[in-house]
């Protein structure tokens, strides 16, 4: 074994620093990656060229292309077209629906980023939940897990696998083909779905229609018979103010009514008789006007009596404006990379910019109804919004929030779906049939989508998530440094000398467990970059196939189910009203099954 | 229809002024009652409470948080007493404990040092030097207390609506001024002020119920809608959730309760 050198110590310190920063999150993970990209050449651990080689790597170009292809598929409205035939096949049972949708999501996820597939399907799943009256909490977790597992079906399904061939290059190992992992991936997806179909009732929260949030369901129950969750309607009440309403009192504003009585004004008459839908918070409630509100019946009554308003028996003036054909409420989920994330609701100002009214926010088992303007929105938050379908559709188009609209309102672009499908198949044919390099083939597909106007070039640029690109590109030099300085070999030998001689199966299992643990605390890309050089060295020293060791890392870094740290789990946690303990319960089972199935399949296919 | 707080240095004749103001306006006079209320409601001895509100926090108090708890209890007891208006409070720290309520007339009574010494000498039968020392010690404790808990100096005149030195002006003069000020429009209770005082009372009840286990939460209340502000990102720690369930059931006046985490505490949070 080589002696420990200063360079090795430096590299190990940098790895330690990266892991530490990944865990404490003082700076974002991509910034940590850039820090590595810049500090490694400064410390002379890699050459300046090597430091930035990640940016031009096959992996990074492939991922850019995959993101653009995903964005193209997203813009076709194809998912909504898929849902109807899939549901037809699925039948009426919830197991059938879970299986059918999960398989579809997994297949889509195998050709695009997992989070992209998960976000794309969320509105469709919300609609299925309403149509078939299945609690969202029973659908989302199996489907979310399938999106993650689907990433293991092809080599372009998830970042760690895209990265794998690049990480194998320094060792002169044979790269993997696009579908080399497919049998393993399919087995993983099947086993994951099977876990939920067989044991779903024990591992999934069996929430009510609204997903089990006590507070929101209590509110809805109290609001009475007007609620019809199937169509997303909420209860409205109409009130009028007397002619002396504003006499001898401080002015009352729309926002005051929400703060005092948790009642949302969804429409108000402005003198002389303009009907304003979704009024701004600072609109004054004047004398002799009509207003429509949504809220708990008891709160509305409390407001009417305290403020001296007249509560009408039924909707009169606003009967047409608030009809389910014209308007309604949606549960909008804050999308990954949403422009709203990190901003307060007051700052976003939905009423002014989109003419829709936020009614409540749901996050981490808590429903926020009072002073929601202060709340700083996070990815995965569920904002209940009221507005006319037209306004909600405009908001939906911006893509910052994910929600479903009644199907007759939703816009479809079938001609684009054909082009998107064509270019996806073209890219795959180039890879499989003509053995053209992954990045070139995928970029051809992406370019084709732009040329055929599935999406324009600006949309394509906007779709690219620079965080993912820099995370990948920034960590690649850390992998190079670990290998180049001999640090990977040194750590591998040290570990092997401690654990002694083990059989290849045991070694692969240990690598699988190690990768699973790493991916739970640091990003899957980080775990892959750090572990691949290490395990390849370990495998060489232990006379096991190093490609298989690397493959185990590439696959097991998708084994991230036990905590809501994976982007997909974080996105589905809010709408599914899941608690961390729900992920631990279901995720632990799926993780164990994942490891066993993965090792069994590798052993079966490659004879380890 | 107003609430008057009279802050005073020891032996500054503030008590006499308060008594006369209450008599003339036919207001309720409260001071020690608040400590008794707090003591019986939260099962704490009156001496401990008095110490909490009188002495500046020691080094250990900074870690024990007990002083913070006692003050929350006292504040809650005081709020219950003042929600009906027409009150003169001449106990400790009224001007600070009642911040946020619109119709509170805040008075500071001070007196000439020599006069204060004379009163102490007569009352306690001690020398002039000892009396001076005693008064200075007392004033120091007050300043430290206010500074450590509220970051303010009790001698800062901007904390009060009216400061009167009993020297050339007599007690009767002071009473005249205060009664006149109490009748001005700005200090009359309005429906909004009364609602604010009621809400503050609910917020203080909730804070008092939480302060032992969660000293760092902020509480606001508006029309019975209570918001708990928590530092950090996750509001739903099991212990707090369980405690809030109890609070929801046991504390009167709550219409709705929710926890907001990771948001800056509003200025009016107790």
Q: Which among A250, A262, A375 has the least Cβ separation from residue B260?
A: A375
Q: Taking the model in full, what pTM does it have? A: 0.73
Q: How far is the CA of A605 from the CAs of A49, A513, A538, A598, A600, in angstroms? A: 38, 20, 21, 11, 9
| pLDDT at site A293 | 92
| pLDDT at site B59 | 58
- Between β-strands A382-388 and A327-334, what pairing exists: parallel, antiparallel or unpaired? antiparallel
Confidence of residue B115 (pLDDT cuts 50, 70, 90): confident
Among A307, A341, A371, A380, the residue to mutate for chain B (most B Cβ within 10 A): A371
Q: Assess B242–A contact: CB distance below 8 Å, yes or no.
A: no
Q: Assess A367–B contact: CB distance below 8 Å, yes or no.
A: yes
Whether B28 shows a pLDDT value over 70: the answer reads yes
| pLDDT at site A40 | 94
Question: How confident is the model over A152-204, as pLDDT tens digits?
Answer: 999 988 889 988 988 888 888 998 988 899 999 999 999 999 999 998 888 88
**Which two structure tokens, joined as six digits, stand for A55?**
């940016």
Q: Assess A365–B contact: CB distance below 8 Å, yes or no.
A: yes
Task: Report the chain B residue with the minimal C-alpha distance to residue A262.
Answer: B225
Task: Report the chain A residue with the minimal C-alpha distance to residue B226.
Answer: A370
Confidence of residue A229 (pLDDT cuts 50, 70, 90): very low
Q: What percentage of chain A carries pLDDT values higher than 70? A: 93
A306 chain-B contacts, CB cut-off 8 A: 223
Q: What is the average pLDDT across A421-435?
A: 87
Hey, are the CB atoms on B258 and A368 less than 8 Å from each other?
Answer: yes
Helical ranges in A169-213 per DSSP H: 182-203
Hey, are the CB atoms on A376 and B192 less than 8 Å from each other?
Answer: no
Separation of alpha carbons A574 and A576, rounded Å: 5
| pLDDT at site A292 | 92
Question: How confident is the model over A47-60, as pLDDT tens digits?
Answer: 999 999 889 888 88
Among A304, A370, A374, A563, the residue to mutate for chain B (most B Cβ within 10 A): A370
Whether A597 shows a pLDDT value over 90: the answer reads yes
Separation of alpha carbons B262 and B106, rounded Å: 34
Number of alpha helices (DSSP H) and beta strands (DSSP E) in chain A: 26, 10
Hey, are the CB atoms on A260 and B225 less than 8 Å from each other?
Answer: yes
Q: Which among A250, A306, A369 has the least Cβ separation from residue B258?
A: A369
| pLDDT at site A555 | 95
| pLDDT at site A232 | 41
Confidence of residue B68 (pLDDT cuts 50, 70, 90): confident
Contact A284, A253 (CB under 8 A): yes
Terminal alpha carbon distance of chain A: 26
Query: Residue B204, exposed/middle/buried by CB under 10 A (0-12, 13-18, 19+)?
Result: buried
Q: Assess B268–A contact: CB distance below 8 Å, yes or no.
A: no
Q: Assess B225–A contact: CB distance below 8 Å, yes or no.
A: yes
Question: How confident is the model over A569-585, as pLDDT tens digits?
Answer: 888 888 888 888 888 88
Question: How confident is the model over A492-542, as pLDDT tens digits?
Answer: 888 888 887 788 899 999 999 989 988 887 778 888 988 999 999 889 888
Identify the weakest region by mean pLDDT among A78-92, A304-318, B89-103. A78-92
Q: Assess B245–A contact: CB distance below 8 Å, yes or no.
A: no
| pLDDT at site B63 | 55
Among A366, A375, A376, A577, the residue to mutate for chain B (most B Cβ within 10 A): A366
| pLDDT at site A509 | 93
| pLDDT at site B34 | 72
Contact A529, A113 (CB under 8 A): no
Confidence of residue B61 (pLDDT cuts 50, 70, 90): low
| pLDDT at site A223 | 34
Confidence of residue A565 (pLDDT cuts 50, 70, 90): confident
Please give the backbone phi and psi of residue A270, each rounded to the nearest 5 degrees, phi first. Answer: -105, 135
**Which two structure tokens, joined as six digits, stand for A384?**
């209940």
| pLDDT at site A408 | 56
Q: Which among B191, B223, B256 has the least Cβ separation from residue A369?
A: B256
| pLDDT at site A228 | 35
Confidence of residue A219 (pLDDT cuts 50, 70, 90): very low
Q: Give the number of A-B residue pairs with CB atoms closer than 8 Å.
A: 42
Identify the weakest region by mean pLDDT among A314-318, A361-365, B232-236. B232-236
Q: Assess B222–A contact: CB distance below 8 Å, yes or no.
A: yes
Contact A137, A95 (CB under 8 A): no
Which residues have CB under 8 Å from A332's CB, separation 6+? Answer: A382, A383, A384, A385, A395, A401, A402, A403
| pLDDT at site A255 | 87
Please give the backbone phi and psi of residue A233, each rounded to the nearest 5 degrees, phi first. Answer: -75, 155
> Chain A closest CA to B141's CA: distance in Å?
39
Distance of CA A595 to the CA centre of its chain: 23
Confidence of residue A375 (pLDDT cuts 50, 70, 90): confident
Whether A221 shows a pLDDT value over 50: the answer reads no
Separation of alpha carbons A506 and A500, rounded Å: 12
Q: Which among A249, A260, A374 has the least Cβ separation from residue B263?
A: A374
Hey, are the CB atoms on A374 and B260 less than 8 Å from each other?
Answer: yes
Separation of alpha carbons A524 and A11, rounded Å: 20
Q: Assess A256–B contact: CB distance below 8 Å, yes or no.
A: no
Between the CA atoms of A370, A371, A377 and A380, what dihedral angle is there, to the nearest 10 degrees?
Answer: 0
Q: Assess B262–A contact: CB distance below 8 Å, yes or no.
A: yes
| pLDDT at site B102 | 80
Hey, are the CB atoms on A259 and B192 less than 8 Å from each other?
Answer: no
Whether A115 shows a pLDDT value over 90: the answer reads no
Whether B246 shows a pLDDT value over 60: the answer reads yes
Whether B193 shows a pLDDT value over 50: the answer reads yes
| pLDDT at site A211 | 39
Please tell me whether the peptide bond between B193 and the residue prior to it is cis, using omega within 30 degrees of 0.
Answer: no
Q: Assess B255–A contact: CB distance below 8 Å, yes or no.
A: yes
| pLDDT at site B152 | 80
> Chain B closest CA to A215's CA: distance in Å?
10
Hey, are the CB atoms on B260 and A368 less than 8 Å from each other?
Answer: yes
Q: Assess B237–A contact: CB distance below 8 Å, yes or no.
A: no
For residues A444 and A541, the model is more confident at A444
| pLDDT at site A231 | 39
Separation of alpha carbons B81 and B29, rounded Å: 10
Q: In what order do the strands lie in the sheet with A366-368?
A: A366-368, A357-363, A382-388, A327-334, A401-402
Hey, are the CB atoms on A370 and B227 less than 8 Å from each other?
Answer: yes
Query: Residue B38, exposed/middle/buried by CB under 10 A (0-12, 13-18, 19+)?
Result: buried
| pLDDT at site A593 | 95
Mean pLDDT of chain A: 85
Hey, are the CB atoms on B256 and A371 less than 8 Å from each other?
Answer: no
Q: Which positions 152-191 of B are in contact with A (Cβ < 8 Å)? A: 191
Separation of alpha carbons B70 and B67, rounded Å: 5
A250 chain-B contacts, CB cut-off 8 A: 192
Among B188, B224, B225, B254, the residue to mutate for chain A (most A Cβ within 10 A): B225
Question: How confident is the model over B129-188, as pLDDT tens digits?
Answer: 888 998 888 888 888 877 877 778 888 888 899 999 888 888 888 899 999 998 888 888
Among B256, B257, B265, B268, the residue to mutate for chain A (most A Cβ within 10 A): B256
**Which two structure tokens, joined as six digits, stand for B248?**
């929801």
Q: Assess B234–A contact: CB distance below 8 Å, yes or no.
A: yes
Contact B220, B88 (CB under 8 A): no
- What is the C-alpha radius of gyration for chain B, rounded to an integer number of angstroms? 20
Instruction: Scan for tokens 């938050």, then name that residue.
Output: A381
Complex-level ipTM: 0.72
Q: What is the average pLDDT across B95-106?
A: 84
Confidence of residue A553 (pLDDT cuts 50, 70, 90): very high
> Chain A closest CA to B214's CA: distance in Å?
19
B254 chain-A contacts, CB cut-off 8 A: none
Separation of alpha carbons B15 and B181, rounded Å: 18
Mean pLDDT of chain B: 82
Question: How confident is the model over A293-330, as pLDDT tens digits?
Answer: 988 888 899 899 888 899 988 888 888 888 888 888 88
Count of all residues that appear for chain B in the document: 270
Return the DSSP state at A267: E
Q: What percentage of chain B carries pLDDT values higher than 70? A: 92
| pLDDT at site A314 | 85
């Amino acid at each position: 074994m080589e002696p420990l050198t200063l360079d090795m110590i430096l590299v190990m310190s940098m790895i330690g620093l990266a892991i530490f920063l990944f865990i404490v999150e003082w700076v974002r993970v991509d910034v940590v990656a850039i820090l590595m990209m810049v500090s490694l050449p400064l410390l002379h651990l890699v050459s300046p060229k090597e430091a930035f080689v990640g940016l031009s790597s096959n992996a990074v170009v492939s991922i850019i292309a995959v993101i653009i292809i995903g964005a193209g598929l997203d813009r076709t409205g194809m998912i909504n077209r898929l849902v109807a035939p899939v549901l037809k096949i699925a039948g009426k049972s919830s197991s059938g629906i879970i299986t059918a949708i999960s398989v579809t999501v997994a297949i889509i996820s195998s050709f695009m980023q997992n989070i992209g597939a998960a976000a794309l399907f969320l509105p469709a799943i919300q609609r299925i939940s309403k149509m078939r009256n299945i609690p969202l909490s029973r659908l989302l977790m199996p489907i979310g897990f399938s999106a993650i597992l689907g990433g293991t079906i092809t080599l372009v399904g998830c970042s760690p696998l895209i990265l794998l061939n690049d990480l194998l290059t320094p060792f002169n190992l044979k790269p993997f083909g696009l579908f080399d992992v497919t049998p393993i991936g399919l087995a993983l997806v099947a086993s994951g779905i099977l876990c939920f179909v067989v044991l779903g009732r024990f591992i999934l929260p069996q929430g009510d229609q609204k997903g089990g949030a006590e507070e929101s369901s209590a509110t809805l129950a109290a609001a009475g018979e007007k609620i019809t969750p199937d169509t997303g309607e909420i209860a409205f009440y109409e009130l009028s103010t007397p002619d002396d309403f504003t006499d001898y009192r401080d002015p009352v504003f729309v926002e005051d009514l929400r703060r005092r009585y948790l009642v949302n004004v969804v429409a108000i008459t402005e003198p002389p008789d303009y009907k304003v839908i979704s009024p701004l918070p600072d609109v004054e409630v004047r004398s002799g006007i009509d207003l429509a509100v949504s809220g708990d019946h008891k709160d509305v009554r409390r407001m009417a009596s305290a403020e001296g308003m007249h509560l009408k028996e039924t909707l009169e003036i606003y009967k047409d404006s608030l009809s389910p054909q014209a308007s309604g409420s949606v549960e909008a989920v804050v999308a990954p990379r949403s422009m709203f994330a990190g901003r307060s609701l007051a700052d976003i100002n939905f009423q002014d910019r989109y003419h829709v009214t936020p009614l409540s926010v749901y996050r981490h088992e808590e429903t926020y109804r009072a002073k929601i303007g202060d709340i700083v929105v996070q990815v995965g938050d569920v904002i209940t919004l009221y507005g006319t379908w037209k306004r909600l559709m405009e908001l939906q188009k911006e893509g910052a929030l994910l929600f479903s609209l009644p199907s007759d309102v939703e816009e479809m672009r079938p001609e684009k779906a054909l082009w998107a499908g064509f270019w996806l198949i073209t890219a795959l044919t180039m890879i499989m049939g003509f053995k053209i390099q992954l990045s070139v083939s995928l970029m051809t597909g992406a370019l084709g989508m732009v040329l055929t106007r599935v999406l324009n070039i600006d949309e394509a640029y906007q779709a690219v998530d620079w965080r993912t690109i820099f995370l990948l590109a920034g960590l690649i030099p850390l992998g190079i440094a670990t290998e180049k300085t001999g640090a990977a070999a040194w750590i591998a030998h040290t570990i092997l000398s401690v654990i002694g001689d083990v059989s290849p199966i045991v070694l692969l299992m240990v690598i699988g467990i190690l990768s699973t643990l790493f991916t739970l605390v640091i990003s899957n890309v980080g775990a892959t970059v750090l572990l691949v050089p290490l395990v390849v060295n370990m495998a060489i020293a232990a006379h096991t196939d190093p490609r298989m060791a690397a493959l185990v890392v590439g696959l097991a870094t998708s084994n991230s189910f036990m905590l809501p740290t994976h982007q997909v789990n974080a996105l589905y946690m809010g709408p599914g009203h899941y608690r961390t303990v729900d992920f631990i319960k279901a995720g632990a089972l799926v993780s164990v099954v994942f490891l066993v199935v993965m090792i069994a399949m590798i052993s079966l296919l490659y004879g380890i | 229809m107003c609430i008057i707080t009279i802050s005073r240095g020891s032996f500054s004749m503030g008590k006499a002024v308060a008594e006369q103001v209450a008599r003339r306006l036919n207001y309720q006079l409260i001071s020690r009652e608040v400590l008794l209320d707090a003591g019986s409601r939260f099962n704490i001895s009156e001496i401990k409470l008095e110490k909490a509100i009188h002495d500046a926090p020691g080094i250990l108090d900074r870690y024990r948080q007990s002083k913070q708890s006692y003050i929350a209890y006292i504040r809650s007891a005081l709020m219950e007493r003042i929600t009906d208006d027409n009150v003169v409070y001449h106990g400790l720290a009224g001007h600070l404990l009642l911040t946020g309520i619109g119709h509170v007339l805040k008075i500071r009574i001070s007196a000439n040092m020599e006069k204060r010494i004379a009163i102490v000498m007569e009352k306690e039968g001690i020398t002039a030097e000892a009396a001076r020392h005693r008064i200075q010690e007392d004033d120091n404790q007050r300043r430290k207390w206010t500074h450590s808990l509220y970051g303010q100096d009790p001698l800062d005149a901007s904390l009060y609506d009216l400061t009167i030195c009993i020297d050339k002006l007599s007690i009767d003069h002071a009473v005249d001024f205060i009664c006149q000020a109490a009748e001005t429009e700005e200090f009359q209770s309005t429906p909004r002020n009364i609602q604010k005082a009621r809400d503050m009372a609910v917020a203080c009840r909730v804070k008092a119920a939480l302060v032992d286990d969660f000293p760092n939460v902020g509480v606001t209340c508006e029309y019975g809608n209570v918001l708990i502000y928590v530092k950090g990102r996750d509001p739903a720690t099991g212990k707090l959730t369980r405690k809030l369930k109890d609070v929801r059931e046991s504390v009167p006046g709550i219409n709705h309760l929710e926890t907001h985490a990771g948001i800056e505490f509003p200025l009016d949070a107790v």
